[in-house]
């Protein structure tokens, strides 16, 4: 295993501090967090996933994974919103031969458009199923969409949804859907247990028409396999879990300075975090003998839940106040158990909670 330490500069610490200070008020308000998005924009975060040809930073995979972990260290709300923006950008970049992709990438790079994804109906969502959004041909070069995209973050702020639907013959398509297209309705945001200010909601489509020129990929039986393999369910999500876990760990270590009984648990958790971070970095680099992304995700999920609950326990009653970060981090950490969580990872977690041996 190579040494891949957490990179920490004064600029990084200031960035994390600003996000941390904004996350609590955003959580309490539940409204769109203008302050958080402004901090991300000031840091150039929306351009991290954009190539230099579009005026972005063009971070490589390893650097992008680490940068997103840094965002989550300050604010999981910020990391969640940014991850959905980045997922949309990746899907657009995966269709370089489609003029519509170039159009939206240009708009995003200039700050003239905000993009998010509506893809959970094709991946992990079970609430409405894989046919939540249906597509059928209604004329030469015209496709009609009916149904809904069930989990769309920042939907009320989006100018374009990078989305997917199932066709009449069971195939799938990916497309860029303008938010102002007739028949598109952004429904009220979900009352989530955490991350309410991400403004995640359902987007309805009632006889919405798109042209073949709006397509990014498909029709194909599994259209997602033909685009970027990275996404919110992969190493990026594990990195966000690690970033939030570090926030709780650092807070626990601060508590240990006044409470000696916390010293040994904090040290053990620090060693575990360091090991898993190195494993995550090795996997992100594709090194030989590195762990599979699913294994990293399982361990990161487990660690962030245990660390945030350890800090909540250490804070005692004070940590249960809505104004304390301990309860907020504990609630937010539970999201990793349901957010784009692959079924094998979820099943392994449930078996672990039940004290059963691993299926493998």
The fold of 10-109 is: Butyryl-Coa Dehydrogenase, subunit A; domain 1 (1.10.540)
pLDDT at 341 (0 to 100): 75
pLDDT at 271 (0 to 100): 97
Predicted structure pTM score: 0.92
Euclidean distance between CA atoms 48 and 58, whole angstroms: 6
Q: How far is CA 212 from the centre of its chain?
A: 29
In this structure, the number of other CB atoms found within 10 A of the CB of residue 117 comes to 28
Per-residue DSSP letter, 144: E
Alpha helices in 75-148 (DSSP H): 76-93, 99-109
* Per-residue pLDDT tens over the stretch 193-240: 999 999 999 999 999 999 999 999 989 988 887 444 444 458 899 999
pLDDT at 2 (0 to 100): 45
Spans of the chain, pLDDT less than 50: 1-3, 226-232
Q: How many CA atoms lie within 13 A of 151 on its CB side?
A: 22
State residue 279 phi and psi, 5-degree precision: -65, -40
CATH superfamily membership of 235-353: Butyryl-CoA Dehydrogenase, subunit A, domain 3 (1.20.140.10)
pLDDT at 130 (0 to 100): 59
Region of 141 please: left (phi>0), alpha (psi -120 to 50) or beta: left
Residue ranges covered by each domain of the chain: 10-109, 115-226, 235-353
Check if 10-109 and 115-226 are the same fold.
no
Q: 49 with 56: CB under 8 angstroms?
A: yes
Cis-peptide into 219, omega within 30 deg: yes
| The CATH number of domain 115-226, selected from 2.40.180.10, 3.40.50.300, 2.40.110.10, 3.30.70.100 | 2.40.110.10
Region of 30 please: left (phi>0), alpha (psi -120 to 50) or beta: left
For tokens 């995209």, the residue is 149
* Per-residue pLDDT tens over the stretch 57-107: 999 989 999 999 999 999 999 999 999 999 999 999 999 999 999 999 999
């Amino acid at each position: 295993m190579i040494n891949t330490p957490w990179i920490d500069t004064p600029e990084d610490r200031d960035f994390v501090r600003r996000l941390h200070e904004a996350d609590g008020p955003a959580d309490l308000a539940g409204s769109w967090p203008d302050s958080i998005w402004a901090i991300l924009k000031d840091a150039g975060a929306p351009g991290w996933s954009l190539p230099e040809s579009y005026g972005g930073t063009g971070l490589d995979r390893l650097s992008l994974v680490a940068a997103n972990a840094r965002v989550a260290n300050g604010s999981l709300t910020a990391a969640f919103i940014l991850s959905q923006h980045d997922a949309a950008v990746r899907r657009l970049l995966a269709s370089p031969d489609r003029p519509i992709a170039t159009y939206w990438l240009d708009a995003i790079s200039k700050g003239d458009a905000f993009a998010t994804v509506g893809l959970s109906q094709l991946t992990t969502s079970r609430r409405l199923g894989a046919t939540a959004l249906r597509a059928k041909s209604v004329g030469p070069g015209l496709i009609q969409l009916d149904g809904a995209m069930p989990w769309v973050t920042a939907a009320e702020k989006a100018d374009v949804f990078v989305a997917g639907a199932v066709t009449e013959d069971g195939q799938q398509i990916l497309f860029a859907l303008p938010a102002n297209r007739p028949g598109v309705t952004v429904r009220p945001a979900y009352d989530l247990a955490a991350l309410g200010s991400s403004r995640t909601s359902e987007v309805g489509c009632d006889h919405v028409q798109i042209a073949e020129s709006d397509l990014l990929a498909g029709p194909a039986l599994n259209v997602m396999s033909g685009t970027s393999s990275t996404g919110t369910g992969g190493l990026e999500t594990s990195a966000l879990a690690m970033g939030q876990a570090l926030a709780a760990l650092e807070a626990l270590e601060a508590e240990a300075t006044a409470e000696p009984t916390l010293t040994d648990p904090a040290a053990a958790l620090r060693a575990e975090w360091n090991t898993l971070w190195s494993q995550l970095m090795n996997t992100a680099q594709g090194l030989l003998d590195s762990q599979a992304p699913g294994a990293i995700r399982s361990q990161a999920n487990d660690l962030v839940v245990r660390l945030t609950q350890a800090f909540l326990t250490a804070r005692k009653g004070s940590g249960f106040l809505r104004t304390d970060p301990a309860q907020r981090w504990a609630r937010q950490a539970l999201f990793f158990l349901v957010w784009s969580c692959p079924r094998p990872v979820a099943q392994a977690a449930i078996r672990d909670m039940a004290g059963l041996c691993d299926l493998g």
